[in-house]
Structure 1
């Protein structure tokens, strides 16, 4: 996996975690839901890259 992509996907996941926690702390359900979406999207991208790496070998 390209290190740059790996860091970008992890950063997106962490951004989602932070946004989710912030939304929960402020009681803003929309921000919390957006954060959950970003977190899931970043995790899915990481899994996709790992699968690509497996098939490249």
Structure 2
């Protein structure tokens, strides 16, 4: 399995809460508004970009 496939699998597990950390991405991001999600910090990816990448993979 490619690294990109592993990352995508992990993000899907995070989103649906089926991973070892028992984190549910949807519940974790419930209180994040669009301004926070689209704000770039220290040149890193935004929350919106990371979630978008998770959805399309």
TM-score w.r.t. the length of structure 2 is 0.37
Bigger share in helix = 1
Q: Which has the larger radius of gyration?
A: 1
Higher relative contact order (CA 8 A, sep 6+): 1
TM-score w.r.t. the length of structure 1 is 0.37
